[in-house]
Amino acid sequence: MFDFIKDIGEKLFDKYEEAAEKIKEYIHRDNPGVENVEVEVNENGEVQLKGEAKDQAAMEKAALMAGNVQGIAKVDTSAVEVKEPAQKRVEIYEIQKGDTLWAIAKKFYGDGNKYMKIFEDNKEVIKDPDKIYPGQKIRIVLED
């Protein structure tokens, strides 16, 4: 289960009745590798994702795509079948006020110049490396 800040993120829907279809379309648009996606959303902003993910990263990216939507508070991925287990350690990081991808790269990798790695690892969630916002959640693929 992934938790999110409900009142921030990309605005995709006005009514919860249309939320499931809008989130499903959003995931399909930049599909990270999840097939047969089904989305259920209740009025508490809780999403249930279903489908088959090619790997752990695809499942995490789909969850972050759904959760970084305004009006969504939780994403449950327990019904997503993951075909290949995680290959690398990943930390889900919540962007803080004043953060930049450079600063996040410096914190996790010791080198701010690696900010494009974070951008590439999160391109389904971050469309512009200069436009991130507090409360947004991203994947940090940790180096061994």
Q: How far apart are CA 64 and CA 110, in angstroms?
A: 25
Is a pLDDT exceeding 70 seen at residue 111? yes
Write down the pTM of the prediction: 0.91
CA distance 71 to 30: 20
* Residue 88 confidence (pLDDT): 86
Write down the mean pLDDT value for the chain. Answer: 95
**Domains identified in the chain and CATH numbers:** 2-82 (no CATH), 90-141 (3.10.350.10)
Residue 87's pLDDT is what?
80
At 62-110, the pLDDT tens digits run 999 999 999 999 999 999 999 988 788 999 999 999 999 999 999 999 9
Q: How many CA atoms lie within 13 A of 144 on its CB side?
A: 3
pLDDT at 131 over 90: yes
Task: Specify whether the CB–CB gap between 45 and 106 falls below 8 A.
Answer: no
